[in-house]
């Protein structure tokens, strides 16, 4: 048999062996040392789940709806519920790297604002674990110098001007409530709105709409309650007396318009900062006095930042402020 015939027969034998060989199992590894087939498939599935969670988070934020854990399990994870931490951490990395945002857990509802029935339910379900709202919102992590209106304009949900007006309104109301001790009676809120010429009507989400350039104030306040910026508490009184209504800051309002943002808002209204103003802000908001020459260096107590795999309340601002304080101490 010639050498050419032997090579041809060897090639035919190899082809026959490949035809009869079983398909590779998830645990097989090829000659080049590539990763296992099962692991590659799992990695691709996790990557797709991460992308789906990013889309879901952006969609919720567009409508100002909270990103709820049960919504993530139902609409994103499906039968992969055990992958929550891994998918959440991956989505956080993509949101930070691509969009400059991250998911932040909303604070739990204040027990003082619960009805009697809600308090009973909370007592029955209370566990020894730390209370968690299991709901998140997206917040920006961009450095302060990149968060000016010239760089980040209001979103165009319906109208940029309408969005800007809406943000200004709920920021103003949240600041008034917070500076009033965290609670504001309905008559006092109405007086403040009257001074703003918003007692009856407020700008609509599209003030350029000739048919409906404005909305009823009550409708706008109700939207703020629904979206979590405000909480309205009504206490029933005895017969013959009017019900007492008070206004409080809601979970989303506490995250989006925190004490640092309120202090910056007040400084803008007053046209700058002064020793007297800073002293009043420190007394009202319980914040550290701002260091001269350090823009926006307002201090709040904050816990350590949780790991990506353990989603929890964001302490990004607290971390940045602690770094600023450390630099100030070193310079002294």
* Closest C-alpha among 121, 125, 64 to residue 250: 64
pLDDT score at 297 = 43
Q: Where in the chain is the domain with CATH 1.10.10.1210?
A: 154-257
Cα 257 to Cα 298: distance, rounded to the nearest angstrom? 14
Average pLDDT per 10 consecutive residues for the chain, totaling 332 residues: 54 50 49 56 83 94 92 91 92 94 89 61 56 89 83 76 90 94 92 93 81 88 94 76 84 92 91 88 77 44 46 47 46 44
Residue with tokens 């969670």: 53
C-alpha 106, offset from chain centre: 7
- CATH fold of 154-257, please? Arc Repressor Mutant, subunit A (1.10.10)
Q: Where in the chain is the domain with CATH 1.10.10.1200?
A: 42-114+133-151
Angle of helix 186-195 relative to helix 160-179, nearest 10 degrees, comes to: 130
* C-alpha dist (Å) from residue 15 to 10, 11, 12, 18, 24: 9, 6, 5, 5, 17
Which region holds residue 254: left if phi is over 0, alpha if psi is between -120 and 50, else beta? Answer: alpha
Task: Please tell me the CATH superfamily of domain 42-114+133-151, with its number.
Answer: MAGE homology domain, winged helix WH1 motif (1.10.10.1200)
Spell out the long-range contacts of 300-305 with Cβ–Cβ below 8 A and sequence spacing 24 or more: 300/258, 300/259, 300/260
pLDDT score at 12 = 55
DSSP one-letter code for 181: T
User: What tokens were used for 201?
Assistant: 């009507």
Q: What's this model's pTM, rounded to 2 decimal places?
A: 0.70
Contact indicator for 97, 142 with CB cutoff of 8 Å = no
How many Cα atoms occupy the beta-carbon half-sphere of 15 within 13 Å?
6
pLDDT score at 331 = 45
Would you tell me how many other CB atoms lie within 10 Å of the CB of residue 331? 7
* Closest C-alpha among 231, 236, 220, 245 to residue 108: 231
């Amino acid at each position: 048999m010639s050498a050419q015939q032997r090579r041809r027969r060897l090639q035919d034998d190899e082809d026959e062996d490949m035809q009869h060989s079983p398909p590779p199992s998830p645990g097989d590894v090829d000659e080049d040392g590539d990763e296992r087939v099962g692991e590659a498939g799992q990695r691709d599935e996790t990557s797709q789940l991460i992308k789906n969670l990013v889309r879901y988070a952006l969609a919720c934020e567009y409508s100002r709806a909270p990103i709820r854990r049960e919504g993530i399990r139902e609409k994103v994870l499906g039968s992969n519920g055990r992958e929550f931490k891994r998918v959440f951490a991956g989505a956080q990395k993509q949101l930070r790297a691509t969009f400059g945002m991250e998911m932040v857990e909303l604070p739990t509802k204040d027990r003082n604002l619960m009805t009697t029935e809600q308090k009973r339910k909370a007592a029955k379900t209370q566990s020894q674990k730390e209370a968690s709202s299991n709901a998140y919102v997206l917040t920006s992590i961009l450095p302060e110098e990149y968060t000016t209106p010239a760089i980040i304009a209001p979103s165009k949900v319906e109208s940029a001007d309408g969005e800007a007006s809406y943000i200004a309104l709920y920021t103003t109301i949240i600041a008034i409530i917070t500076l009033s001790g965290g609670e504001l009676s309905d008559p006092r809120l109405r007086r403040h709105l009257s001074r703003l010429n918003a007692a009856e009507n407020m700008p609509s989400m599209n003030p350029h709409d000739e048919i409906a350039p404005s909305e009823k104030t009550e409708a706008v306040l109700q939207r703020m309650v629904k979206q979590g910026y405000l909480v309205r508490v009504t206490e029933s009184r005895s017969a013959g007396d009017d019900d007492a209504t008070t206004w409080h800051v809601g979970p989303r309002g506490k995250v989006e318009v925190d004490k640092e943002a309120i202090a910056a808002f007040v400084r803008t209204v007053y046209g700058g900062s002064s020793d007297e103003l800073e002293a009043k802000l420190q007394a009202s908001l319980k914040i550290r006095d701002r260091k001269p020459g350090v823009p926006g260096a307002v201090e709040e107590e904050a816990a350590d930042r949780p790991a990506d795999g353990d989603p929890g309340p964001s302490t990004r601002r607290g971390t940045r402020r602690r770094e600023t304080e450390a630099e100030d101490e070193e310079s002294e």
